[in-house]
Chains A and B, each alone.
Chain A
Amino acid sequence: MAVMEQNNFEKNIQQKLDDLKMIPSDSAWINIERRIGKKHKDRKVVFILFFLILFLLSGGYWLLNLSENNVQQNQPADTVVKKNSNLSAIIKNDSLLNTPAISSGIYLQKADLVDTTAEKSKTSPTVQSEIPKDKNGIGRINQNQKELSRDEIAFESKEKKLPDESTSIERLNTVESEIENADLNNKNFQNKISLDSLSNQLEPEKIKREMVFKKDSSAKKHPENRQKNHWVLGITFSGGKSMMVHNPLALNNSSSDYFQSSPNSGVGSGSGGNPSFTPSEMKNSFAFIGGAFIEKNISAKSKISVGISYKYFSSTNKVGSQSSTRLNQYSAANTINSYRNHFHYVELPVSIKFQLNNSKTLPLYWHAGINISRLISSNALQFQSSPGLYFNDNSMFNRTQLGLSTGISAVLFLKQKIPVTIGPYFYYSASKLADKGLYQNKHFRFIGLRTEILFQKK
């Protein structure tokens, strides 16, 4: 009966309080809207970072391919320029000209010229009719790009000296007479090299294009230097242990120093007999960093690199039973369950490398850098001593962290296409992990092994 009466009181209270409605201030919704919007922005940042990584990777890959093609195309041209200072020297090279491949290569040259100048100067029908239209012809054309470039360079050595179009034509006459004087014994070739096509070649635009080409080829005279000063794409992976330290100068950096751990249940003696809890010992745990970077020589013995990485740090501690699944809350009593606190970061590292030795087979580098990282998500638990509760609240973390990194690395397989760099890596987060809560004034530290793979063409 007493219970029923008691229940009546509770029911009465419940009914009364269910009717309680209060109008919140206008600023409440504004704050909520701002905070929801911020979360959307966070998502946008993740998307932007994702596309930035994609862009960097694809851009790096494209640059790599481009430099590779340039080296392949221009390497023989250099030789030709050096060996042959005028057109006749090349034309007299019977073995080169008499091959069908070369003939078709010249057809292409004409075809290009006809296409670009068809409206301005109507090319002779002879030339047009000689453009090969079959697929095989095009195939041959592609195959003989190298030989074609030789011709272009040889022509260019003549053309560069011509100041204007009139003198160009004079010079062309000379070139033509040289062609005629040459003992080619190839009627087809003589017919194909017409004055029209040559004059088209000497149009200012063409000259400009070839001047650029000339400039490129001069750069190729020192391909080694050029490649050394190029940005080179690489990927990196570091695996090791992350740990939380309170004071960077403290020698004993075990996280247990900062908690009065109680191995049994985490229950301490509170004032006045009230249960008060101490947090369980925070243990160091597995961590890794992976990402992409681009690297460039800044001097004979130093390099600079910038990149983007994903960083995962973690720690473990003991918690009690879960009191709320929705809010990720755990009791601090009977701490028998192991809980892993995950920290996911996106990081932008900038570092400088200095070569420590003179070895060409096993160069050793010391590297130091600054890393700006952003916490993208975490399930880390905060702690409340009384009434003893672990709960998740990421708003307590300083999301943006400034870190310092250093390490020593050795370059292995230097003579291979893809050299691998390996060595110890040390990272220290100069920013505090949080200003309050369980992680108050704590800093992350990472010690591990770092590997780098450079996609460098030799």
Chain B
Amino acid sequence: MRRMDHDQLLKDCLKLKPEAQRMLYEHFAPSMLGVCFRYTKNLDDAENILQDGFVKVFKHLKQYKSQGELGAWIRKIMVNTALTYLKTNRKYQHDLLFDETPLHIVSTENPDVKLHAKELAELIRQLPTGFQTIFNLYAVEGYTHVEIGSMLGISDGTSRSQYARARALLIEWIEKFSVKEQNGRYGTK
């Protein structure tokens, strides 16, 4: 979207013009659904978060400062909405209980990720909710462990250890998946 179009679209959205709101939604919804998808276990929940998130976007749009990317601003809202959803939804609540494990082993493995985005997202979604959330926040969104600790009400040490475990598990799965894929390609079991 060109900058001028973008500014005009914002102005129209602030004037509560339905066409502009629809355009803004259509522009950002696919990538934002991708974000929401990574935090949940099924697509319905991801769409629920997307809806809650966009309602907040339109409600607080006047608070958006034009200096930053609108996409990044919307993404932050989606992430926060996803966290609230996980914390308030019974399905996920229990999985967000974190073990306070002070020791953690940092994996140095650095596998080449040859998976497609969707496949990678599916693997991340297979992680336990706690691991999944912390992995998304740290590896994908780029939050620090201190920030994650504050967001989730845990210590930064817990965040670190949870992340290390999530990372190790994911790498293991990625490797297995890659082997499986290779075997499948060459017709071996």
Contacts and interface: CB of A to CB of B under 8 A. Distances in A.
B21 interface: yes
A300 interface: no
Contact of B139 (A14, A28, A273, A393): A14
Contact of A327 (B25, B80, B88, B152): B80
A327 B84 contact: yes
Nearest to B100: A273
Contacts of A134: none
A32 B139 contact: no
A20 B80 contact: no
B51 A323 contact: no
Nearest to B164: A6
A386 B107 CA distance: 28
B99 interface: yes
Interface class of chain B by DSSP: helix
Nearest to B73: A326
A273 B102 CA distance: 12
Interface stretch (B1-9, B32-40, B181-189): B32-40
B121 A20 contact: yes
A387 B88 contact: no
A9 B111 contact: yes
B33 to A, nearest CB: 4
B63 A326 contact: yes
A25 interface: yes
B99 to A, nearest CB: 7
Contact of B98 (A5, A329, A332, A387): A387
B77 interface: yes
A188 interface: no
Contacts of A393: 84, 88
B87 A384 contact: yes
Contact of A24 (B50, B98, B139): B50
Contacts of A17: 34, 38, 117, 120-121, 140
B55 interface: yes
B77 A21 contact: no
Contact of B30 (A6, A9, A22, A29): A22
Contact of A386 (B22, B34, B59, B93): B93
Contact of B55 (A2, A23, A32, A333): A32
Nearest to A330: B153
A333 B121 CA distance: 32
Interface in A234-285: 270-277
A288 interface: no
B24 to A, nearest CB: 11
A275 B153 contact: yes
A333 B25 contact: no
A18 B71 CA distance: 12
Interface of B: 16, 18, 21-22, 25-26, 29-31, 33-34, 37-38, 43, 46-47, 50-51, 54-56, 58-60, 63, 76-77, 80-81, 84, 87-88, 93, 96-100, 106-113, 115-118, 120-121, 138-140, 142, 150-154, 167, 171
11 contacts: A14-B139, A16-B115, A22-B33, A25-B47, A29-B22, A36-B58, A36-B59, A271-B97, A272-B99, A323-B151, A331-B150
- Chain A to chain B: the 9 pairs with minimum beta-carbon distance, closest first: A20-B34, A387-B153, A388-B153, A5-B110, A21-B30, A20-B117, A2-B108, A274-B97, A384-B87
Interface of A: 2, 5-6, 8-10, 12-14, 16-25, 28-29, 31-33, 35-36, 39-40, 270-277, 321, 323-324, 326-327, 329, 331-333, 382, 384, 386-389, 391, 393, 437
